[in-house]
Amino acid sequence: MFQSGEAINEKVLARKYRGSRTPVREAVMRLQQENLLRLVPNKGYFVSHLTIHELNEMYEYRAEVEGFCAELAARRWNDQSLLKKLTTLAHTQYRTDDRASYEHFIEADTEFHIGIAQLTRNRLVVRAVTEVRCHTERIMFAAIDIGYYGEVPAREHTKILEAICERDALLARKLMYDHIVGSKDKVLQLASGRSSPNL
């Protein structure tokens, strides 16, 4: 996982992943288009910082899109095997003294949110949720030093999934919206407590 402000070297990445520079260059350009990387003339690519304003925008977007996503999933789901997988993912927790378990939690959290989107059977919704998860994962990795997630996501994920299973669309929407707004509040608290208000 690259940190905010870190330099990205195409040659090093190509060697690390045992490939040519062409696919690496294409990936780097795509990440720049998604504002995950910034190009500094004569210096190269660097991992972008997220400002407080950008964090607010992202979480406002996520709350609305994923709230709608949970509502639509409750109305449309028909995949029992995916629901079973999401139930397992919803219970994923981590230990604050174990980085490996935290990284596993982040992966499970991403799979959970994308899985809810997949229940909608709407490709545009799945794409929107998948794209915003790149930024969300960066924030979650930045938060590892305070371990503020704890058991809360597992409880909230379980309640969201229960509402979806029971086809309570409006409750599913509200729970997902509240879940993301709660995360936003914690992230902004983290960002405002740092010397630089960027992640």
pLDDT at res. 4: 63
Q: Are 163 and 70 in contact (CB under 8 A)?
A: yes
pLDDT at res. 102: 78
pLDDT at res. 6: 63
3-state helix, strand, coil in the chain (%, to 5): 70, 5, 25
* Domain spans, the chain: 7-47, 52-192
In CATH, what class is 7-47? mainly alpha
**Crossing angle, helix 52-76 and helix 169-192, to 10 degrees?**
160
Which CATH fold would you assign to the domain 52-192?
Answer: Four Helix Bundle (Hemerythrin (Met), subunit A) (1.20.120)
Q: Is the pLDDT of residue 148 over 60?
A: no
Find which of 11-20, 161-170, 177-186 is predicted with most confidence, using mean pLDDT: 161-170
